[in-house]
Amino acid sequence: MSDRILLAHGSGGTLAHRLVEERFVKPLLNPVLSKLDDAAVVDFAGRLAFTTDSYVVNPIFFPGGDIGRLAICGTTNDLAMSGARPVYLSLSFIIEEGFLLTDIDRIISSIRETTEEAEVKIVTGDTKVVDRGSADKVYINTAGIGVVPEGVSLSGRNAQPGDKVLLSGPIGDHGIAVMSKREGLDFSTKVESDCAPLCEMVAAMIAASPKIHCLRDPTRGGLATTLNELASQSNVRIVIEEERIPVRDEVLAACEMLGFDPLYVANEGKLVALVPASDAERVLAAMRKSKYGKEAVLIGEVKEGSSRVVMKTSLGTSRLIDMLTGDLLPRIC
């Protein structure tokens, strides 16, 4: 059993210390984390953004990513959507007895690579071990802190009539990648998750225009739910055009086979921006210079009216887009 997690790894004794030091601290080492104090003491200047999230995706390894990369991307992206530059993260694991230590190593390796890409540091963390059958392999919780630049004020409440709606690329990749792995579905073309840290692209967007009103990453509930949230927060009507919304052919085919609408399928490396019309082209150009925004497009406009989302279809009709009800894809993040 030496190749697997034991209940003793959660005891706080020798095995627990060895697990933390060898498999968590050593690969993620930095001056703050190396102190191994009960709380990280760090320096800040300016306004702070703070967020937390938990990750229970099934399966934990999927095409284009894994639970480790997902945790870092999800938390840093939430900070970036507030205009913040992510700086520090916490990292906590809840591990089921019997989980392979090699899979821990694989997840931590992915976390290390993603934190380096996002230029953030993990400065504190925790591990807990639960009885076999009391969890499903491994769950991860993160919290993140970022610094918001002076003059930047992003909120779902800031949308204004006349704003343009920008989307950073094709939708639905993550949800279909996870579902295909979970259900053992094979497609002629491989579908991979879009899981990616968006902080660098967001910084470039803000540099192009500090007047951006709203940013949001359309994760659970997909693009449709995100747009409904923004419409509700700002009490505006958002009108989008079906023909402008990019969906990869293989994702569209999978959605048709599974009975899903791509508008409601989760993403983990995309963002929606509501931008004043005068700055839309400049922000769009900045997005397209990023490797995660090369396929960015303008998909609609904010209008006066009640809180709703309307889509102009390819047939020339209009369709009301509601928020997702129920759980289209459980345990997707």
Please check the confidence at residue 240 and state whether its pLDDT lies above 90.
yes
pLDDT band at residue 324 using 50, 70 and 90 as cut-offs: confident
Confidence at residue 1, expressed as pLDDT on a 0 to 100 scale: 52
Please check the confidence at residue 189 and state whether its pLDDT lies above 80.
no
Confidence at residue 39, expressed as pLDDT on a 0 to 100 scale: 94
Helices (DSSP H) in 22-143: which residue ranges? 67-80, 101-118
Q: Long-range contact list for 280-287, CB < 8 A, 24+ apart?
A: 280/164, 280/166, 282/208, 282/209, 283/166, 283/205, 283/208, 283/209, 283/212, 284/166, 285/208, 286/201, 286/204, 286/205, 286/207, 286/208, 287/166, 287/168, 287/201, 287/204, 287/205
Angle 69-75-79 from CA coordinates, rounded to 5°? 140
Angle 224-230-233 from CA coordinates, rounded to 5°? 140
- Confirm if 244 and 263 have CB atoms less than 8 A apart: no
The mean pLDDT value for 115-123 works out to 98
The mean pLDDT value for 121-134 works out to 96
pLDDT band at residue 223 using 50, 70 and 90 as cut-offs: very high
Confidence at residue 45, expressed as pLDDT on a 0 to 100 scale: 85
pLDDT tens per residue, range 78-106: 999 999 999 999 999 999 999 999 999 99
Global pTM reads: 0.95
Confidence at residue 224, expressed as pLDDT on a 0 to 100 scale: 97
| Domains of the chain in sequence order | 7-148 (3.30.1330.10), 164-321 (3.90.650.10)
Please check the confidence at residue 284 and state whether its pLDDT lies above 70.
yes
Confidence at residue 178, expressed as pLDDT on a 0 to 100 scale: 96
Q: Rounded to whole angstroms, how far apart are CA atoms 101 and 84?
A: 35
Please check the confidence at residue 188 and state whether its pLDDT lies above 90.
no
Tell me whether the omega of the peptide bond preceding residue 59 falls within 30 degrees of 0, making it cis: yes
| Mean pLDDT value across the chain | 95
pLDDT band at residue 257 using 50, 70 and 90 as cut-offs: confident
